[in-house]
Amino acid sequence: MNQPAKMIEALLFVSPQPVNESELAEAIGCDPEEITAGLEELSAAWAEGERGMVLKNVAGGYTLASDPENDEAARRLLSKPRTPPLTPAQAETLAIVAYLQPVSRPEITRIRGVSADSASGTLLDRGLIEESGRSQFGAICFRTTDLFLRLFGLSSIDELPPISEWDPSPEEQSDLRERLMAAGGARLGEAPTSESDGAVQEPLPQIEGEAGGDESDSDGLEDSDIEAADDSEIEAADDSESEGAEEDDGEEVDASDADEVDDRDESEGDQPANAFAAS
């Protein structure tokens, strides 16, 4: 089998969708004639009845499929419950354990910013992590298992990609920021502006008129309040004047009464003297 045929076989194996000849030529970097020759070689090598796989041309592209003779066994295998893929929270927790192991659950929670109880519990149940002693504060620590290594195709934890490879450079951060801003501007540009803005602005004059009416009403209320305050002040002044007059009258009455009492005393005092003189 020549080199283009081997590469075509690998691409069809890893692709979940059928791949056409132009896509194969672009991925491999060869001429279309070489792709055609490689597909013919694969078709002969994967002929029906010769192996468990066959090369099929479906939906305008090529794909590897199981031989129809093996359909019954394939149905029995695929009828079993499949393990669901990891959720984003579980993937984050597993990555933290893989790179920082042994690591405790409180440390995972501090790194993620949210609780890791559910995610770590699921990873324990699926056998991807296991307990590995306790921290100095008594919390249970976790590490990855051999199943984790097998599922990710690793022979040891040392084969994990360096974190620096996944850390974007300042140029990449700037490019990502520009693309996000451009995408945000494009989304704003798609929003309707003429009709929707007019619909929003139509009620504004009415709102302003209502606001003016409210101001005039408030002015009227303030004027009436001022007039009422003036009336109350005038009434209070009249009441104080009347009370002052009554007090003055009372004082005059008290003074006249005192004069009458003095006159009576004087008259009474004079009578005994006159009587004694008469006697």
pLDDT at residue 196 in the model:
39
* Residues 92 and 161 grouped into a single domain: yes
Decide if pLDDT at 259 tops 60: no
In a domain, 106, yes or no: yes
Residue 127 tokens, joined: 């056998």
Q: In whole angstroms, give the CA distance from residue 266 to residue 263.
A: 5
Decide if pLDDT at 154 tops 70: yes
* Residues 97 and 123 grouped into a single domain: yes
Name the residue type at position 182. Answer: A
In a domain, 279, yes or no: no
Q: What is the pLDDT of residues 210-241, one digit of tens each?
A: 444 444 444 444 444 545 445 555 455 555 55
Give the mean pLDDT of 114-136. 89
* Residues 106 and 47 grouped into a single domain: no
pLDDT at residue 187 in the model:
61
pLDDT at residue 123 in the model:
93
Higher pLDDT, 262 or 4: 4
pLDDT at residue 73 in the model:
87
The count of domains in the chain is 3
* Residues 157 and 92 grouped into a single domain: yes
CA 169, 170, 173: angle at the middle one, nearest 5?
Answer: 90
pLDDT at residue 145 in the model:
92
- At 94, the pLDDT band (50, 70, 90 cuts) reads very high
Higher pLDDT, 149 or 244: 149
In a domain, 255, yes or no: no
Radius of gyration (C-alpha) of the chain in whole angstroms: 51
Q: In whole angstroms, give the CA distance from residue 33 to residue 5.
A: 12
pLDDT at residue 124 in the model:
92
CATH code assigned at 104: 1.10.10.10
Instruction: Look up the domain containing 119 and give its range.
Output: 88-166
* Residues 178 and 141 grouped into a single domain: no
pLDDT at residue 148 in the model:
92
pLDDT at residue 256 in the model:
47
Question: Strands, E, within the chain: which ranges?
Answer: 53-58, 61-66, 103-104, 129-134, 140-144
pLDDT at residue 129 in the model:
92
Under a CB-based contact definition with an 8 Å cutoff, are residues 128 and 90 in contact?
no
In a domain, 240, yes or no: no
End position of a domain, from candidates 37, 56, 78: 78
